[in-house]
Amino acid sequence: MELKTILHHSNSHPLGAILIKGQKIDRWIMDIQRMGLALSAIKAYAIPNPNEHDNPLDTIWGCLILTAIKQKDMDIGPNSYCQLAHPYLLIPEKAKLFPAIGQEALGDLLKDQLHLLHPALGLIALKTAINWELVLSAPSMEAVTIQKPVAPIFIPKTIKSFQIKPLSPEEVLEHFASSQEAGQKLDDEPLNPFEKARLFFYKKVLDQSNAKDNSSDKAGQGSAGLNEGQNSGLFYTLQNKINSLTNNFTKDWQEDFEALQKRNQKQLDKLLELLKKDPKEALKYAIPLDKDGTTRGNNRPGKFNLDKRWWDFSLFGNTSRGSGSGSAPLDRTAFQQLQVQYYKTAEELIKQGEYHKAAFVYMKLLGSAHSAASTLEKGGFYAEAAAIYLKYLQNKEKAAECYEKGNMLAEAIALYQELSKHEKVGDLYMRLNEREKAFIHYKKTITAYRSQDRFIKAALIYRYKMSNPEAAQEMLLNGWRVNKDAFNCLDNYFVNIKEDKALDQAIQHIHKQEVRPNQQETFLKVLQKAFNKRQKIRPSIRAIAHEVIAERVPKNRHIVKSLRHFDVEDRLLGKDVVRFIW
């Protein structure tokens, strides 16, 4: 009888081995590792090649791995499963024995020796398992040098806070400038030094002359006849000659004065016109004003010219070019014209988003540091605005607000600490995720509030900023105990208790332990608010209210009016109350 295997649509026996084809041991090891099998947990048998006479070098056909297979869908690659048809016989998967033979007969045939029956190999006895210790050799070890890389930059997964690190106020004031190229000089020729001196002389002489003429006119009306009688002959002729010469000089001086003044006024008109058409260019020639109605800068008495003054629009430091100092007086009309135009120019620059230049107009030309700072703050230039508030206005609170708006929190914290605004300091530390430092300043704020009997404010910090509702409730209860804003403290205490059952217990406890005789009427008002809001515990609140009213009636008969708030359904109660009071 010839025993062989034939194809079958399914497996008739459990899987018990894996067949690896190939004669290279390194490939067997790689497949075993890929399948996740440990060498110590398997038995492996080399399968001889039955056709070795065709090629004497191919003495090995493959390898059989004997192992427990729990699931068929493990990744075995190009290899194949074998069925355990008998404890000592393995056959390929999806095959069956032919002819069918019983287990006892198979046992007699195999003689307790493990065999593999394969259509291409025949019946092969598997005698000796592979000893991996003899087959495998340890790899040669090489000395290697391990270089540890430099620690990389830490990149957090979550950004809890960020802030901007500004320059110091001094550095901000030094660097805050918008450099401009030198503009063209105005083509109107200014007065030369001699003409400026003449203009100054004419102002002095002609003003005095006009004053004398006015006084002499008034005095001459009463003494005209006397002068005509005295001034006769040669003396009279000489005086007329002198008066004629003086009048001629005065007339020439007046004409020259008007001409010089017209040229001088033309410079002002040119500046006003340029401010309307090209304010950015005009600002380079702008004349600073002060509260005394004068120009400031490199001017001497009588001087009024439009030389280039500003080489950039820096708000800080002296960026004006020129020599000398002093001020030149402006008449009221000229001063007002310049002042009005400067304000209009600043407003127009703000509309265009030129906050730097608008601040320059306010600070350098109009002398208003406050307007300059508020303009920069409006434009989002918080560091520069803070620098002005600190250096020129000594306003630390506004400077701190600007630093806070600009997310320069360290600088804002330092200023708020100087101002003892501890709650604000705590808020900023919380933005920096520094809870411990924040809580230190919150506690200082709570201490201050408590010393001022502001228990509700202190409780709010505990509850919402320190996440400590228990401490908040205790603070409100302290306010009730010391009778400082007692109504609001107890009302907030009850409002913070959300569950009706817990509120009922709290009201009963307060009634029994925390209400003194002088607090009974206040307690009754608090009960009235709770009665209106908490429908489920109305009967309990009503009973406590009745007790309080009964205890208080001997000292205040009118307190029975409060019954109407708790017994709204009793329509006759109102008449009974009136009869009781009267």
Domain ranges for the chain, please list them: 4-135, 167-213+246-349, 501-582
From 502, 501, 496, select the one nearest 476 (Cα to Cα). Answer: 496
* Contact criterion met (CB below 8 Å) for 199 and 328: no
Place of tokens 């907030």: 492
In this predicted structure, what is the pLDDT of residue 120? 85
pLDDT per residue rounded down to tens, the chain (582 residues): 678 888 888 888 888 899 999 888 888 988 888 888 888 888 999 998 877 665 555 688 899 999 887 765 678 888 899 999 988 899 999 898 888 888 888 888 888 889 999 988 888 889 888 888 888 877 777 778 888 888 887 777 776 666 666 666 666 666 554 433 334 445 455 566 666 676 666 666 666 555 555 555 554 554 444 444 444 555 455 455 545 545 555 666 676 666 666 556 666 777 777 777 777 777 777 778 865 544 554 444 444 555 556 645 556 554 444 433 344 556 677 788 788 888 988 999 999 999 988 998 898 888 899 999 999 999 999 999 999 999 999 999 999 999 999 999 999 999 999 999 999 999 999 999 999 999 999 999 999 999 999 999 999 999 999 999 999 999 999 999 999 999 999 999 999 999 999 999 999 999 999 999 999 999 999 999 999 999 999 999 999 998 998 888 888 888 887 777 887 777 666 666 666 665
In this predicted structure, what is the pLDDT of residue 36? 84
Calculated CA dihedral for residues 294, 296, 301, 303, nearest 10 degrees: -100
From 532, 459, 521, select the one nearest 487 (Cα to Cα). Answer: 521
Q: Which two tokens stand for residue 499?
A: 């569950």
* Contact criterion met (CB below 8 Å) for 400 and 412: yes
Q: Which two tokens stand for residue 431?
A: 């933005």
Q: Which two tokens stand for residue 53?
A: 């006479």
Strand, helix or coil at 466? coil
In this predicted structure, what is the pLDDT of residue 456? 96
In this predicted structure, what is the pLDDT of residue 3? 84
Q: Is the sign of the CA dihedral 563, 565, 569, 573 positive or negative? A: positive
pTM of the model: 0.56
In this predicted structure, what is the pLDDT of residue 51? 74
In this predicted structure, what is the pLDDT of residue 512? 93
* Contact criterion met (CB below 8 Å) for 338 and 273: no
From 412, 457, 414, 478, select the one nearest 442 (Cα to Cα). Answer: 457
